[in-house]
Amino acid sequence: MRSVPAVAFLLALAALAGLGAWAAPDAPSNVPAPAAAAPATPVSAGSPSSGDNEAAARHAKRTACIKQARAKKLVGAQKTAYIKGCIAPS
């Protein structure tokens, strides 16, 4: 078991460095205190941008086309062509 001396060595190094659960609680920490979180800017829920609406519409259209292709049991290049043709005439 060669790993036992390695683990013991690493634990000894950690103890010398003051790391671990056995370190004194009053020891100063080198970690800076977390900065106060900046308040998040509120997002207006009533007026989504038109880009969001367009993206949602494209996603819904593509999802519907994929479901139709699956219902027709299309695979491979036929499925890809069907989906592209289905999405294009928007």
Model pLDDT for residues 7-37, shown as the tens digit of each residue = 888 778 787 777 655 555 555 556 555 555 5
Q: How confident is the model at residue 63 (pLDDT cuts 50, 70, 90)?
A: very high
Asked if residue 68 belongs to a domain, the reply is yes
Separation between Cα atoms, residue 15 and residue 4, nearest integer Å: 17
Asked if residue 88 belongs to a domain, the reply is yes
Asked if residue 13 belongs to a domain, the reply is no
Asked if residue 33 belongs to a domain, the reply is no
How many structural domains compose the chain? 1
Asked if residue 36 belongs to a domain, the reply is no
List, in sequence order, the alpha helices (H) in 1-90: 3-17, 50-71, 76-87
Q: How confident is the model at residue 49 (pLDDT cuts 50, 70, 90)?
A: confident
Instruction: Give the pLDDT score at 56.
Output: 92
Residue-number span of the structural domain to which 76 is assigned: 54-90
Asked if residue 73 belongs to a domain, the reply is yes
Asked if residue 77 belongs to a domain, the reply is yes
Asked if residue 71 belongs to a domain, the reply is yes
pTM attached to this predicted model: 0.44
Separation between Cα atoms, residue 31 and residue 33, nearest integer Å: 7
**Quick one: CA dihedral 62, 68, 71, 72, positive or negative?**
negative
